[in-house]
Amino acid sequence: MLPHTPHQPTSRAQEPLRRRVYVAVCLLAAAALVVILLTDLRRGQMDASVAGGLALCLGVAGLLQFSRLPWLLVDYTVLVGASGIVVTQLLELLRLQESIPVRSYFPGAFLVIAAFSVLPVRAALTYTAVLLSVFAGLSVVTGSDVVLLGQLALTSLLIAHLSYFGRQVSAERARSDEQYRLSRTDVLTGLDNRRGMYERIQQAFSRSLNEEGAEFTVLLADIDHFKRVNDTFGHDVGDQVLRRVATVLQRQVGDQGSVSRWGGEEFLILLHTSDPPVVRAVAGQLWHAVRTAAVAGLPPVTTSVGVASSGEVTSVSDLLRIADRRLYEAKDAGRDRVQLGPARSRSAPVPAPPGPAPRPEQAERA
């Protein structure tokens, strides 16, 4: 089913670009109208519709440049303003009983394009039918060229067909994009789900094989004793804890990588680096941030984390297997800690940022 209106919401990221493009188009149209106006003046002519179009283009460009009017209002202003200019010109020709000049048919085609860009399909078809009826009636009364009228009608049909087909394609593409996004998004937390993150890791691993310095790291974090939270406080509170941890992890990782809900109470973090000091610091920050992120009515939430880097393995499956093994080594060692390497190779704890929370009891690295 086609959407009722062609207007689609513009994201905040797209908004500035769309305004700049719209302003640029208006200014280019204004420049073309200035050339036409100057040419007419040199010939001793003055077409009020050209001056009106110039004023409309400059006015819309100014509104877009210096205000934040809704797009719907801007589009309708262009359509209504252009319609008024063309109708005024046609009424003047009717009054003077002059035939429609060739140059007046192009604004008619422009109105059809504008109608199918702004209005719902049925309204645009009705608008086009009325517009063609006006041109046809005026052609009969003034004895204008019916060939030009036929060309305008054929052009309108082509525009209608392309618009309808284009909307179908856009709607189908939007549905496909949304289905793709949902299939890779965890509903509860809004993070990537296991499928989405696995694709990211595969892409990162392929890049690491082909590009020098493109190694990366994964951190598999599991909320300690999460079953107790569900059993004691209920699944609603458990969901609250999951959302809270997801928010904290995503905020801490930022543009250093990606965060996903790997399954249940597990989160997988992809870092775009394998530099040991950086990985060690980020792991400590993540551990500390989760531990200090209070959830009302609950004791501190802690995590056990297993870390593995792409340089240690030759496949994605091995990478995930090592991260999972180190996660369970962290749990076996008492939980609430980060395992950077094999348990048999012990070293100093992962440093945590200054704060009220204690340091992890133990952290390992290769």
Which two three-digit tokens encode residue 218?
A: 């994964």
Report CA-CA distances (Å) from 359 to 85, 326, 343, 363.
Answer: 74, 19, 18, 10
Q: Is 178 a catalytic residue?
A: no
d(CA 76, CA 333): 67
Which one, of 280, 314, 279, lies nearest residue 205 by Cα?
314
Give the count of alpha carbons within 13 A of 361, CB side only.
10
d(CA 57, CA 132): 24
∠ Cα 174 178 181 (to 5°): 140
Which two three-digit tokens encode residue 301?
A: 């939430």
Ordered DSSP codes for 11-75: PTTTHHHHHHHHHHHHHHHHHHHHHHHHHHHHTT---HHHHHHHHHHHHHHHHHHH----HHHHH
- Is residue 192 within 8 Å of residue 184, measured between CB atoms? yes
The residues with which 307 forms a beta bridge, in sequence order, are: 219
Token pair 């009826």 is found at 133
The residue from 211, 212, 265, 361 that is catalytic is 265
The enclosing H or E element of 339 equals strand 338-340
∠ Cα 228 229 233 (to 5°): 115
The CB-based long-range contact list for 122-129 (8 Å cut-off, 24+ gap) reads 124/160, 124/163, 125/160, 128/156, 128/160
User: Would you name the residues annotated as active-site residues?
Assistant: 265
